[in-house]
Every structure is written in structure tokens, then in C-alpha cells.
Amino acid sequence: MAITLLCFATLVRAERPHDWPYMEGSWRFESSNGYEAEIEYEIVAGGSAAIGRWTDKEGGQTIETIGWRPNDKTMVSIGFGTGGKYWKREYTVVSKDKCTGKILFVDPNGTIINGNSTLTRVGPDLITGELIGKTTDGKEVNMSVKFKRRESTVNLK
């Protein structure tokens, strides 16, 4: 009986395969280009992934899925949003306080940005980040971002 319970407990809550804690609960996002959104993050798949539901100040919606790709030890974030917005971040350096990797971002106007993304956990309620890259027509992009924890106003159930 003890073996059965131990196996069941392992299936219910998987151990996160990396040190970076997924964001959970209510967050506010701001970027240096003026984009703002409210996000509700939920831990899923027994703790091995997270889903973010973004609502921007114009009412646009984005769904983000974050998870671990074990074959190459990469944390991946993929987002699909209103107006064709899309991103894929692949963090190949992952620690409890910092993630660095590549990003592909497409905005609703069709502008494509390829570059590097860094997230830094400043504390339990604040994460800052930077995107440095280029558009497909060669324009340089340097954007700073901030995730700040807030009180929940959305019921995810």
C-alpha cells in the first residue's frame, strides 16, 4: 500500500526539472515600448509547466505556455495572441535567479524580431528582463520589461 501511495504522489506533483520557479498567480507586465498587460499564471502538469493568460490594456488576449524541454535542457515559452502576435523564447541558461536565451517575436503589425532575452528575478514579486535583437529589416531593438506581482482579480477555474 505504501508503494502505491508513493507512486501516486509522484504522478500528482512532478518535481520541477530546473531551478527557475514558474510565476504563479496575478502579475502586471510593462515594457519600455509602452505595452502593458495583466497576467494570470497557473502551474499545470503536476508542476512541470505553467500557463499564462494575458489581457492587455486594449483588451487583446494572449495565451502563454511555459515548460521544460528535457532533451536539450531548455525552458521554452510560447505565446499566441490577438492580431497574430506570437513569441517563442528558448532559455538555455536557467538558474533560480536568471534565464538567458533566444527569442523570436512577431507583433500584431507583422514586425519580426530575432534576438536574445534575459529574465532576472529581483525578488519574489519582481522580475525584470531585456530583449536585444534586430528586426528582419535590420533595425536594432533594445527593450526592457518588468513583471510585478499583483493581487488576483481573475478566477481561473
Burial of 147 (0-12, 13-18, 19+ CB in 10 A): buried
Extents of the domains making up the chain: 19-149
| CATH number listed for the domain at residues 19-149 | 2.40.128.20
Element (H, E) at 29: strand 25-31
Burial of 39 (0-12, 13-18, 19+ CB in 10 A): buried
Q: For residue 61, give the C-alpha cell.
A: 488576449
Q: Give me the tens of pLDDT residue by residue for the chain, a chain 157 residues long.
A: 444 444 444 444 455 667 899 999 999 999 999 999 999 999 999 888 999 999 999 999 999 999 999 999 999 999 999 999 999 999 999 999 999 999 999 998 999 999 999 999 999 999 999 999 999 999 999 999 999 999 755 444 4
